[in-house]
């Protein structure tokens, strides 16, 4: 049975077939999804997962800042959490609770206004809390694991799970939580701080990003993970690839661990440029650069 013919009448969220995905990615490239669902709340998400045929692949996306969708699109169901998952609240004893679709920058700002220190690094991550949980997102000396207390998520069968620090299995840009779990919210803990000083720290991060990263371009954030005790951008630069282009894709002249999609670029251009970079760095240094950007979907037919 085709997804379009399946019975989703019990759902409350927005359901769209043959949904364009390019507008949901910072690269602004890629083909459509067979189905895009935006659940109203956790109960709606659970109902969708239970209604969806077991053999249908699922992709969950946040702000699309660390995502490359191939030109042929995604053959399956894409889930993008709705407004109910954007809630942020300050709780007692220096705790903060945030929905998985809450933007990292908004969490950092609310923590700062409440005089809650320890969250400033989130200002440097252009994504959502769900992505930060999945990748142990970090920047400017901080990582998600540093403030993490617990998280809640739903698996492919629609079952709710709770994760403590041990269950998350944090490591560099990785957690050991099964890929089929969709995080819905998390609890964090900071410490008392001076709002003015915290905002000053966040402003410094904003200035540093603006001066060293192509923040106002169609990019996907850091392209490659840093190898142990090395910087990916330095390896790319040493390979002589600053400003190198394939089709409409370019390695940023400002920061060589960023790929830029110019007007008319295809996802295939971006992926080819990344693979060419990996090949050249491997030839020169023997080091295998690992993608930090998540690449999904099918090539164009």
Q: Considering 75, 156, 173, 225, which one is annotated as catalytic? A: 173
H/E run at residue 227 = none
Q: How many helices (H) and strands (E) does the chain have?
A: 8, 18
Q: Considering 40, 150, 276, 292, which one is annotated as catalytic? A: 292
CA distance 63 to 90: 23
Based on the residue annotation, tell me whether 209 is a catalytic residue of this protein.
Answer: no
Q: Contact at 8 Å (CB) between 253 and 241? A: no
Based on the residue annotation, tell me whether 211 is a catalytic residue of this protein.
Answer: no
As given in the structure block, the two tokens for residue 201 are 């720290």
Say which residues have a Cβ less than 8 Å from residue 167's Cβ, sequence separation at least 6. Answer: 177
58-60: strand order across its sheet:
14-19, 33-38, 74-79, 58-60
Q: Considering 222, 271, 278, 280, which one is annotated as catalytic? A: 222
Q: Contact at 8 Å (CB) between 96 and 135? A: no
Based on the residue annotation, tell me whether 173 is a catalytic residue of this protein.
Answer: yes
The two beta strands, 74-79 and 33-38, are: parallel
Residue with tokens 């019975």: 7
CA distance 128 to 86: 9
> Angle at Cα 270 formed by Cα 239 and Cα 21, nearest 5°?
155
Residues with catalytic roles: 173, 222, 292
């Amino acid at each position: 049975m085709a997804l379009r013919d399946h019975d989703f009448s019990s759902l409350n969220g927005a359901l769209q077939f043959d949904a364009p995905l390019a507008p949901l990615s910072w690269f602004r490239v890629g083909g459509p999804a067979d189905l895009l669902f935006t659940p109203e709340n956790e109960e709606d998400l659970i109902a969708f997962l239970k209604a969806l045929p077991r053999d249908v692949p699922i992709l969950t996306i946040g702000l699309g800042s660390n995502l490359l969708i191939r030109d042929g699109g995604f053959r399956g169901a894409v889930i993008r959490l709705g407004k109910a998952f954007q809630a942020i609240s300050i709780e007692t004893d220096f705790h903060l609770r945030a929905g998985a679709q809450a933007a990292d920058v908004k969490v950092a700002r609310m923590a700062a206004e409440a005089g809650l220190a320890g969250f400033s690094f989130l200002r440097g991550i252009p994504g959502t809390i769900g992505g930060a949980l999945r990748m142990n997102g970090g920047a400017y000396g901080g990582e998600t694991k540093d403030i993490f207390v617990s998280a809640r998520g739903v698996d492919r069968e629609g079952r709710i799970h709770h994760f403590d620090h041990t269950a998350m299995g944090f490591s560099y840009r990785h957690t050991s939580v099964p890929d089929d779990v969709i995080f819905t919210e998390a609890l964090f803990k900071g410490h008392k701080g001076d709002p003015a000083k915290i905002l000053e720290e966040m402003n410094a991060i904003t200035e540093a990003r603006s001066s060293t990263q192509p923040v106002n371009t169609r990019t996907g954030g850091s392209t490659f993970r840093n190898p142990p005790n090395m910087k990916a951008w330095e390896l790319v630069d040493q390979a002589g690839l600053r400003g190198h282009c394939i089709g409409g894709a370019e390695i940023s002249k400002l920061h060589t661990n960023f790929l830029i999609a110019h007007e008319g670029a295809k996802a295939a251009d971006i992926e080819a440029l990344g693979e060419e970079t990996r090949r050249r760095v491997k030839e020169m240094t023997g080091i295998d650069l690992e993608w930090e950007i998540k690449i999904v979907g099918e090539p164009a037919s």
